Amino acid sequence: SQQGEEDPQALSIQEGENATMNCSYKTSINNLQWYRQNSGRGLVHLILIRSNEREKHSGRLRVTLDTSKKSSSLLITASRAADTASYFCAALGGKLIFGQGTELSVKP
C-alpha cells in the first residue's frame, strides 16, 4: 500500500482562493516531499520538509509536518489557474513512496 495518502482526492477552487491538501503516511520518515504533476508530464519537486522541521515556506507554498500524527499539509495561497495540476506527497523512509495525489483545479 502507498506510504503517502492525500486528501482530498480532488479540489476545485476559484483563482485567488487558498488551496489546502493533506497527506498522511504510515511509518517513520526521514523527510516528506511534495511534487506537482501537470497532466501526462513528469513530476516536479516543490518542497522538502525534514522530520525535525514543523513548517516550511517557499513562495506561495506553505508545508507543515506533524510527525506525531504522521501527517503533512500543503497550502497554496492566492491560487492561479496555472496551479491546476495533481499534487503528490512522497514520504521518505528508506525509499520514496508516493501517494495517489490530489487533483487541483483552479478556475479563472
Partner 1 sequence: DSGVTQTPKHLITATGQRVTLRCSPRSGDLSVYWYQQSLDQGLQFLIQYYNGEERAKGNILERFSAQQFPDLHSELNLSSLELGDSALYFCASSPDMVSGIPYEQYFGPGTRLTVT
| Binding-site ranges for partner 1 (CB under 8 A) | 2, 30-31, 33, 35, 40-45, 48, 88, 92, 94-101
Q: Give the nearer residue to partner 1 in terms of CB position, either 100 or 105.
A: 100
> What does the DSSP assignment read for 63-106?
EEEETTTTEEEEEE-S--GGG-EEEEEEEESSSEEE---EEEEE
Give dist(CA 54, CA 43) in Å, integer.
24
Q: How many CB atoms within 10 Å of residue 58?
A: 11
d(CA 56, CA 39): 26
Between 74 and 92, whose beta carbon lies closer to partner 1?
92
Q: Closest separation between CB of residue 51 and partner 1, Å?
A: 10
Q: In the complex, what is the shortest distance from the CB of residue 86 to partner 1, in angstroms, rounded to a whole number?
A: 10
Residue nearer to partner 1 on the CB measure, 76 or 92 = 92
C-alpha angle 16-71-47 in degrees, rounded to nearest 5: 55
Nearer to partner 1, 16 or 94 (CB): 94
Please report how close the Cβ of residue 53 comes to partner 1 at its closest, in angstroms.
14
For the bound state, the minimum distance from the C-beta of residue 2 to partner 1, rounded and expressed in Å, comes to 7
